[in-house]
């Protein structure tokens, strides 16, 4: 079985179409849609990765921010279980404390086969001579004194805001607008009727009703997705969310 750093893949599918050499996936409550991979999708992706000898970078930035249900195991956990340990996995798991403890320290972690971690260590050393040791010590102190007890209040806060956003969308959005119902994370993805443009809506929204969001087309590499938006629910409190969505819904009712 090829290891994560020893894959030897053919260059194409045989029909001239280039094979993917590396996969990147944000499986839980992903940015920007808030949606997650099912267990079947995870297993299919891992099967494809091994068939192609394609390493996967698993970005678990939002995985700990789960508000409902038991959730699915990380890709790296499924892969290590199926392949007899992490050394045989094709997945490199990237975690961050930015979404759960503090964003300003910019400290994260990577889990994967030892040989890859050793190379990453050298690459990072060459690139930035390590993340700040003081920041790492502060973070270590904070998380070793109870990461789980820090997570619970954050989850409760964001769950309340997620619920407030979904309820406000139900109350205020006109027919023809739809949105995701994420079970975690920070984002809800909105589909507008096809004739509307999220970037134009943002310009009007800021000027007329002082409500901001991210137009969705920035997340597409092929120029599509102009009628989509990403809403964030982690920053504003429930009253602000209700006010903002009521205003946005009223503006949209004049356009649909
Ligand atoms: C998908 C995704 N991955 C990773 C990160 C980043 O985190 P960090 O602050 O650790 O660089 C973000 C933050 O916005 C994100 O949305």
Encode pLDDT of 202-227 as tens digits. Answer: 999 999 999 999 999 999 999 999 99
What b/e string do you get for 203-224 counting C-beta neighbours within 10 Å, with b at 16 or more? Answer: eebeeeeebebbbbbeeeeeee
CA 96 to ligand 1: nearest atom? 10
Encode pLDDT of 30-46 as tens digits. Answer: 999 999 999 999 999 99
Helix (H) or strand (E) segment spanning residue 203: helix 198-204
Hey, is 115 helix, strand or coil?
helix
Q: Residue 9's pLDDT is what? A: 53
What domains are defined for the chain? 23-144 (3.40.640.10), 149-253 (3.90.1150.10)
CA 26 to ligand 1: nearest atom? 1
Q: Is the CB of 108 under 6 A from ligand 1?
A: yes
Q: Percentage of residues in the chain with pLDDT exceeding 90?
A: 86
Q: What is the CA radius of gyration of the chain?
A: 21
**Sequence-ordered list of residues with C-beta below 8 angstroms from that of 110, at least 6 positions apart, any chain:** 92, 93, 94, 95, 117, 120
Q: Is the CB of 109 under 6 A from ligand 1?
A: no
Q: Residue 25's pLDDT is what? A: 97
Q: Percentage of residues in the chain with pLDDT exceeding 70?
A: 95
Q: How confident is the model at residue 2 (pLDDT cuts 50, 70, 90)?
A: very low
Task: Say if residue 1's pLDDT is above 50.
Answer: no
Query: What whole-number distance in Å separates Cα of residue 212 and Cα of residue 198?
Result: 11
Helix (H) or strand (E) segment spanning residue 183: none
Mutate to test the pocket of ligand 1, among 96, 106, 230 (most ligand atoms within 8 A of CB): 96
**Cα of 92 vs its chain's centroid, Å:** 15
Encode pLDDT of 43-81 as tens digits. Answer: 999 999 999 999 999 999 999 999 999 999 999 999 999
> Which stretches within 28-145 are classed as H helix?
39-52, 75-83, 114-128, 133-144
Query: What whole-number distance in Å separates Cα of residue 24 and Cα of residue 56?
Result: 6
Q: Residue 13's pLDDT is what? A: 65
Encode pLDDT of 168-215 as tens digits. Answer: 999 999 999 999 999 999 999 999 999 999 999 999 999 999 999 999
Residue 139: exposed, middle, or buried by beta-carbon count in 10 A (0-12, 13-18, 19+)? middle
């Amino acid at each position: 079985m090829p290891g994560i750093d020893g894959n030897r893949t053919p260059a194409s599918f045989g029909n001239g179409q280039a094979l993917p050499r590396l996969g990147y996936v944000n499986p839980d409550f992903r940015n920007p849609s808030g949606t997650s991979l099912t267990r079947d999708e995870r297993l299919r992706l891992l099967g494809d990765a091994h068939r192609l000898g394609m390493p996967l970078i698993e970005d678990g930035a939002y995985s700990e921010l789960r508000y409902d249900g038991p959730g699915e195991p990380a890709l790296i956990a499924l892969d290590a279980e199926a392949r007899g340990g992490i050394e045989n996995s094709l997945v490199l798991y990237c975690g961050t404390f930015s979404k759960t403890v503090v964003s300003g320290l910019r400290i994260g972690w990577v889990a994967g086969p030892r040989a890859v971690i050793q190379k990453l260590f050298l690459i990072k050393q060459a690139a930035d001579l390590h993340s700040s040791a003081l920041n790492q010590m502060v973070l270590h102190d904070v998380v070793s004194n109870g990461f789980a007890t820090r997570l619970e209040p954050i989850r409760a806060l964001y769950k309340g805001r997620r619920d407030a956003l979904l309820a406000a969308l139900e109350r205020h959005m006109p027919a023809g607008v739809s949105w995701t119902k994420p079970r975690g994370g920070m984002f809800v993805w909105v589909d507008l009727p096809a004739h509307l443009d999220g970037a134009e809506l943002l310009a009007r929204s800021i000027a007329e009703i002082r409500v901001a969001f991210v137009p969705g087309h920035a997340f597409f590499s092929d120029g599509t997705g102009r009628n989509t938006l990403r809403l964030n629910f982690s920053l504003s409190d429930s009253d602000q969310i209700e006010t903002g969505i009521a205003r946005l819904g009223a503006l949209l009712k004049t356009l649909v």
